[in-house]
Amino acid sequence: MESSFIFQKIMKISAILLAAGKGERLKKSKPKAFVKVEDKEMFLHSLETFSKCPSISEVILVLPKAEIKVARKLLADFPNLQNNLILTSGGKSRMESLASGLKIAKNDWILSHNAANPFATNREISRLVKVLQKYDAAGVAHRADSTVRQESKILDRRKIWLMETPQICKKEFLKRGLQIAHARKIEATDELALAELAGAKIKIIAADSRNRKITRVEDLPSENRIGFGHDSHRFSKKRKALFLGGVKISANDGLEGNSDGDVILHALTNAISAALGGGSLSNFSDEMCARGIRDSKKYLKVMSAKMKAENFQIENLTISIEGKRPKLEKHFPKIRKSLSGLLSFPVKKIGIVATTGEGLTAFGRGEGLQVFAVVLLKNL
């Protein structure tokens, strides 16, 4: 036990983070490593893990050449890694990218890791380091759960491992393995395969349940956000049309405000903004009003565009209205249809309820209308 602790303490590792892949199967406009997962670019999750690992003395980040400048800006959030972080460009294949990292690596032990495995843990790295007293290379993997076939033959799933990263190997075996792979025209899909070509003794340990490679859109973790919005207006003393949810309810009974006073659209816009971590509607609507844009549908359009730009869509929507007048139940089908069209969202997922408040508030006494909106957003 003591020798294991000493081995881990003195062991120095060069981590090569492979982030040069295009990720075509993910069907995104940017390279896979730059796709956001849980609010930050995929490769940053791994850097955060590495920054807390005492065995890792340097990190080599292998990127598409065109993305190196972008990456430098993102790395400002990791000042503790700056002195030990090297950025380099990768190749067309995994093996070429690995070779690019190996040329720079200073240490005899190499940790290779896919940027597409954002949820690897330091516990996995520690467990790998422990077994390296007896092995030349080690990596994490998941046991096969389903029946595994090779054409008509059923394989023993107890002997099947589904490989993940991180993997740690002696540099000499990786270099030799690359030479052998090139000579035999073998395209190795992970570093343990290269180590085995070079005659290394390897060990596989169970990966953390969350540590799975993101390859396709369906592999991306789903992120849900809830937004709560509110707005209220008193009835105008002037002759003004009443708009609710983008629907003209009456020629009179309009609500006060610089805009058309559509409290449903205002509350809804606030709810979406809140879910996205933004501010109040007035932050941009006041300026639009000053330019003569008083149609609240335009305000909702601005927020809908922001929502799509951040890769979110509405999963569910609820509107609650408080007011003594007018009677609104008969208008709900039109309002739901209007909201559905404005948001490109199914009518069946839009709920609207109303209450008079039994005269306990100004709204319940018929002086105005108050609306609460709740949205559930889901990332695309």
Residues 8 and 155 both lie in one domain: yes
What pLDDT was estimated at residue 29? 74
CATH number of the domain bearing residue 252: 3.30.1330.50
**Residue where a domain terminates, one of 219, 240, 266:** 219
Residue 156, class by beta-carbon neighbours within 10 Å (0-12 exposed, 13-18 middle, 19+ buried)?
exposed
Which residue, 198, 219, 240, sits at the end of a domain? 219
Bridge partners (DSSP) of residue 207 are none
CA 123, distance to chain mean position in Å, is 23
Same domain, 319 and 180: no
CA atoms within 13 A on the CB side of 300: 25
Q: Tell me: do 208 and 236 sit in the same domain.
A: no
Question: Is there a single domain that holds both residue 193 and residue 322?
Answer: no
Statement to judge: residues 250 and 211 lie in one domain: no
Tell me how many domains the chain contains. 2
What confidence score (pLDDT) does residue 5 get? 53
Torsion over CA of 329, 331, 333 and 336, rounded to 10 degrees?
A: -100
Q: For position 22, what pLDDT does the model report? A: 82
- What per-residue confidence (pLDDT) applies to 9? 57
pTM score, whole prediction = 0.71
CATH of the domain at 80: 3.90.550.10
DSSP letter at 278 equals -
8 Å CB contact between 136 and 194: no
Query: Of 219, 247, 275, which closes a domain?
Result: 219
Instruction: Tell whether 73 and 31 lie within a shared domain.
Output: yes
* Whether residue 55 is found in the same domain as residue 184: yes
* pLDDT at residue 7, rounded to an integer: 54
213 in the same domain as 232? no
**Same domain for 254 and 295:** yes
What residues does 229 pair with on adjacent strands? 373
- pLDDT for residue 15: 97
Per-residue pLDDT of the chain (380 residues; tens, 9 = 90+): 555 555 555 689 999 999 998 877 777 778 899 998 888 899 999 999 998 999 999 999 999 999 999 999 888 877 766 678 999 999 999 999 999 999 999 999 999 999 999 999 999 999 999 999 999 999 999 999 999 999 999 999 999 999 999 999 999 999 999 999 999 999 999 999 999 999 999 999 999 999 999 998 888 887 899 999 999 999 998 889 999 999 999 998 899 988 999 999 999 999 999 999 999 999 999 999 999 999 999 999 999 999 999 889 999 999 999 999 999 999 999 999 999 999 999 999 999 999 998 889 999 999 999 999 999 999 87
- Looking at the structure, do residues 175 and 239 belong to the same domain, yes or no? no
The rounded distance, in Å, linking the Cα atoms of 66 and 196 is 33
What does the angle CA 3 – CA 208 – CA 115 come to, to the nearest 5 degrees? 100
Match 């199914």 to its residue by tokens.
346
207 and 254 part of one domain:
no
The continuous run of DSSP H or E covering 171 comes out as helix 171-184
Q: Are 209 and 113 in the same domain? A: yes
Range of the domain at 252: 224-379
